[in-house]
Structure 1
Amino acid sequence: MSNIISTIDFNSTTTCNQSNPTHQTHPHNPMDTTTAGKPSNGHRLVFLPLPYQGHVSPMLQLANILHSKGFSITILHTLFNSPNPTNYPHFTFLPIPGTGDELHSLIDLKNILRLLNYINADLVDPIRVCLNRLMLEEDGVACLITDVHWFGTQSVADDLILPRIVHRTSNISSFRSFVAPVLLRDKGSVRGCDEEVKSEASVSRLEPLKDKDLPKFLPNDPEGKYKILELTVKGIKQARALIWNTFKELEEHELEALSQDFPNPHFLIGPFHKFFPASSSSLLTQDQESLSWLDKHPPNSVLYVSFGSLVRVEESQFLEIAWGLANSKQPFLWVVRPGSVEGSEWLECLPDGFLERIVEGRGYIVKWAPQQDVLAHPATGGFWTHSGWNSTLESICEGVPMICSPSFGDQLLNARYVSDVWKIGVKLENGFERGEIQSAIKKVMADEEGLEFRNKIVNIKGKVNFCLKKGGSSYSSLEDLVNYILSF
């Protein structure tokens, strides 16, 4: 995966012990603990993100939000896929020693079970050393905020008598499907515990979820997956509270259902990215020229295509995507991440004549785009997405209807909600097939049904704007979260 996710390694001025000398250093690090982020309320929060782009970004956004409320912020992170400290001069960064090469070898999604076992077993003691040192400093530590997948840190928090809050980077709806195997087995049901179920049957108590929508992470080791899920659920239930990057108006019913199994306090304070201008938490270099290209197109005319930072496709699928876009005759901005096509570095396997066919400005291909800015651009009229939660939420916030091509995990449920519940887009039910792709693009970008999608998602966008204002649900929930942390 090294050719997919860029790494930024550095030696912070604050470390648990000597950093690995093989990692590249920055010539200047502004994260000096003597000046960084002195709080007005005297409380320091320590954040521990999972080293994936889709997990790092919302965690840093959350840290920014709480810093604006007067908290001092320390980011405890792995050396692999570490955030760039120069983008956050108001934070202190603390690398966990020995978390570079080993994580690099496990970061591929095919190794997700090994990775989760590794970080929650081998890294527990190094994390304990880091937290113990921080607690002995003048500011101490008021609270540890971790990604839910760091369930092993609950034992550390308990030993140190340190409150732990978890942040789930997906939404409530998909989280219910994520933990479904454990909850269903606890209730004596086997449905949903088997891997690769393709049935159209609904899952009891999880409607409109279908059997085929259940997350499929580890098809070769269902018992291993179940054990990880069981430990994750246990770690969440033992945490003080959960923080969600979503808002009440979108998932109120899902929250009521979830609270039956997870009675912890829940704080819905999203969308995180709307609290501040588009952030620079991307681990990949963004092509800013894509915005200039969009400037040349009329409103709602361009389809934006991006499948996130992890999804990989076969060459045959890539060709179907290419011809589906070309045959649609719709202007498109297409993100093709280097290494995202099996057996190809970048665009080598494009069909002969394809680039000539999209000349004269109808198509533009980039390696990575400033997604929030692209979605907010007036020319963007649709988003063909992998349905990761960050992308889905960003599209909702800008009122852009979606075409969904989910691959794994929460993407499956997000796509189902987009198409069947919120009715703000379509899901490609048959994978990547050029005829279905062309039809979906026409439906979203040109047909009457696409106008209905747009009207519904613009209505939800209005609710987003309201929830963030004083008296709104997310505004009030954030105030409750701040008071909750200050009560520790």
Structure 2
Amino acid sequence: MKAESNNLHILFFPHLAHGHTIPALDMVKLFAFRGLKTTIITTPVNASYISKTIQRTKSFGLEIDVRTIRFPAVEVGLPEGYEHAEFVRNDVEMLNKFLQGLALLQEPIEKILQELRPDCLVSDITYPWTTDAAAKFGIPSLIFHGSSFFTSCTGACIRQYLSGGHSFSSEPEHFVLPNLPGNIQFSSKNLSSPSDIETLITRLIKQSIQAQGESFGMIFNSFYELEREYVDYYRKTLGHRAWSIGPVSLCNKDMEDKAGRGKDASMDEHLCLRWLSSRKPNSVIYVSFGSVANFADSQIQEIAKGLDHSGQEFIWVVNNCGGSQKDGKDWLPEGFEERIEGRGLVIRGWAPQLLILEHAAIGGFVTHCGWNSTLEGITAGVPMVTWPLELDQFYNEKLVTQVLKIGVTIGETKHGAHIESEALEKAVSRIMEGEEAEEMRKKAKALGEMARKAVEEGGSSYSDLSSLIQELKLLRQGST
């Protein structure tokens, strides 16, 4: 990327979770490649996850600083060091305390804003209070939205629907959501989440919606060609200022950059790639449910059976989802690893996902539909089996299956639903074999090409980032 000579200073404050920090760090690199000074604010534990990446950027001559602030874990009733979402994800009481701790970060953030006086603060959508914090010092604030335009539009249409006195319980099991472009069909049972989580998330969403209206605008990890109808709807119909600058993962050019995103891989990337290189093109199904899935042991066994009976070659990443079993052995069906030897590869822990998805041997992706994984699958040109587990993942599934038509659903799912092995076996076969699979693969590869062109000079995402930088320059000149 071509650097631009200017001295804008952008301050970034990502959410303390891998699924938010990883794309945020990619975004920081994009700004730094354009010649901007960038600073990341995080906590000590979270700083350790990004230290290698930050060190590598120095070899590129990038100016990326890190400022750490203490997370008030003890003050909110958490053990010292519990300053990352993965420590509290599956305990509602601890999650609530964690969110309370995040709110207490406003004072140290304001001290840094007062000290550094950056030209802009880019914060995660989970920090709605940062808009007011930046405004105290006359600093424009941008909100990084870690999901798709489609999800944001869907959320807005749901709120319109509910505000009109309607309820999902009064609708048939399958219905088209009013006002949302595309006549997208939803299931009423996956438009709500457990009540305890709903209370926490709903409160945060309401605060975030208000912050969006008061901020300078929104940044999305997406690209215009992927969801143009929903980008236009978000900007024109809903009236929000937004810049689409993704896929941000494409800022990682070499193997070390791609392998180094997030935690250290649990399997040597070279070993994994050698295994893939011994397979035929489009012959391997990749199975991963992100960094926070927490399946029961019985569900893990069903996944194992489905993969075994599918007859397909596969890589299965088991990360944080083996119930109470830590070593990943007790919950596997007896003789499973012996039966799949030579045909399947099980990775227990963190995997180099970008490198795996980009490999020519990968022909399909079983995903939980988190936006990072969904977009990475699209960028790699890989069709998907969609298995959403919670929240916006159900919306991302609709984008993949109904709008883009590059995936098939595992079946009718809802929060916490148990999926039988036969459903996985059937879905994997659909995505890997036959004319339908080939048609989806062609569409997926075309979208992957569009993604790469979008971030190149002159592409839609490149131009959107240039436009944003120019607006920030003019804003600074107007304030001097």
Verify the 8 A CA contact 2:96 2:200 in the aligned structure 1: no
How far residue 267 of structure 1 moved from its aligned partner, in angstroms, is 0.8
Would the aligned equivalents of 1:218 and 1:225 in 2 still touch at CA under 8 Å?
no
Q: 1:217: Cα distance to partner?
A: 4.8
Q: Name structure 2 gaps, 5 residues minimum.
A: 56-62, 74-79, 413-417, 476-480
Given that 1:300 and 1:381 are in contact with CA atoms closer than 8 Å, whether structure 2 keeps it comes out as yes
Aligned equivalent of 1:55: 20
The answer on 1:227 being equivalent to 2:203 is yes
User: Aligned equivalents of 2:288 and 2:20: distance in 1?
Assistant: 17
What is residue 29 of structure 2 aligned with on the other side? 64
The aligned residue for residue 93 of structure 1 is 66
Any idea what the Cα deviations from partners look like across 1:226-255, whole Å, max 9, x if unmatched?
332211100111110111111111111112
Higher mean alpha-carbon deviation, 112-121 vs 170-179, is at 112-121
Q: AA paired with 2:263?
A: L
Paired with 1:381 and 1:350, the residues of 2 have a C-alpha distance of 25
CA separation in 2, counterparts of 1:210 and 1:119?
A: 35
From 123, 130, 150, the counterpart of 1:146: 123
User: What is the TM-score with the length of structure 2 in the denominator?
Assistant: 0.85
**TM-fit CA distance, 1:183:** 3.9
Q: Supply the AA of the counterpart residue of 2:179.
A: R
Partner of 2:455: 468
1:283-298 superposed matches below 5 A: 283-287=263-267, 288=269, 289-298=271-280
1:103 equivalent to 2:65? Answer no
Residue 205 (str. 1) matches residue 199 (str. 2):
no
Could you give the per-residue CA deviations for residues 97-132 of structure 1, whole angstroms, max 9, x where no partner exists?
Answer: 234535358731543862574155322112112222
Q: Which amino acid aligns with 2:111?
A: V
CA 413–380 in structure 1, closer or farther in 2 if over 3 Å, else same? same
- 1:128-169 CA distances to partner (integer Å, 9 max, x unpaired)? 12222222xxxxx11000011110111111111111001101
CA contact 1:215–1:410 (8 Å) conserved in 2: no
Name the aligned partner's letter for residue 73 of structure 1: T
CA distance in 1: counterparts of 2:378 and 2:11, whole angstroms = 30
Aligned residues: 441
Deviates more, 1:307-316 or 1:207-216: 207-216
SS of match in other structure, 2:196 = coil
1:314 Cα offset (Å) = 0.8
Task: Tell me which amino acid in the other structure corresponds to 1:96.
Answer: I
The 3 A distance-change label for structure 1 pair 377 and 342 is: same
1:334-367 Cα offsets, whole Å, 9 max, x none, are 1112x421121123211111111112x1011112
Q: Name the TM-score, length of structure 1 as normaliser.
A: 0.84
**Equivalence map 1:82-481=2 (5 Å):** 82=47, 83-89=49-55, 90-99=63-72, 101=80, 102-104=82-84, 107-111=88-92, 114=96, 117-119=99-101, 121-135=103-117, 141-186=118-163, 188-191=164-167, 199-206=173-180, 207-212=183-188, 216-220=192-196, 222=198, 224-260=200-236, 262-277=238-253, 278-279=257-258, 280-287=260-267, 288=269, 289-337=271-319, 339-345=320-326, 346-359=328-341, 361-367=342-348, 368-430=350-412, 431-481=418-468
Q: Relative to 1, partners in 2 of residues 1:334 and 1:458: Cα closer, same or farther, differing over 3 Å?
A: same
CA displacement, residues 435-473 of structure 1 (integer Å, 9 cap, x when unaligned): 111111111111221111111111212222332333321
- SS at the partner of 1:88? helix
The CA RMSD measured in Å over matched residues stands at 2.5
2: CA distance, partners of 1:155 / 1:119: 18
CA deviation after TM superposition for structure 1 residue 86, in Å: 3.3
SS of the residue corresponding to residue 363 of structure 2 reads strand
* Cα displacement (A) at 1:189: 3.7
CA-CA distance at 1:225 after TM superposition? 3.9
Deviation track 1:70-118 (CA, whole Å, cap 9, x = no partner) reads 1111100133433332321342111122345353587315438625741
What one-letter code is carried by the residue in structure 2 that aligns with 1:84? I
CA distance in 2, matches of 1:471, 1:130: 35
**Distance in 1 between residues matched to 2:211 and 2:249, nearest whole Å:** 27
Deviation at residue 420 of structure 1 after TM alignment:
1.6
The 3-state SS of whatever aligns with 1:327 is: helix
Structure 1 distance, partners of 2:197, 2:101, is 19
Aligned to 1:4: none
Q: 2:157 touches 2:178 (CA, 8 Å); kept in 1?
A: no
Q: Which residue of 1 aligns with 2:58?
A: none
Question: Deviation at 1:209?
Answer: 4.8
User: Any unmatched runs of 5+ in structure 1?
Assistant: 1-37, 136-140
Tell me if structure 2 keeps the 8 A contact 1:179–1:233.
no
Identity of aligned residues (%): 29
Shift of 1:375: 0.8
Q: In the aligned structure 1, how far is the partner of 2:433 from the partner of 2:468? A: 43
Amino acid at match of 1:268: S
- 3-state DSSP class of the match of 2:332? coil
Instruction: Point out the structure with the larger helix share.
Output: 2
Alignment check: 8 A CA contact 2:381 2:447 kept: yes
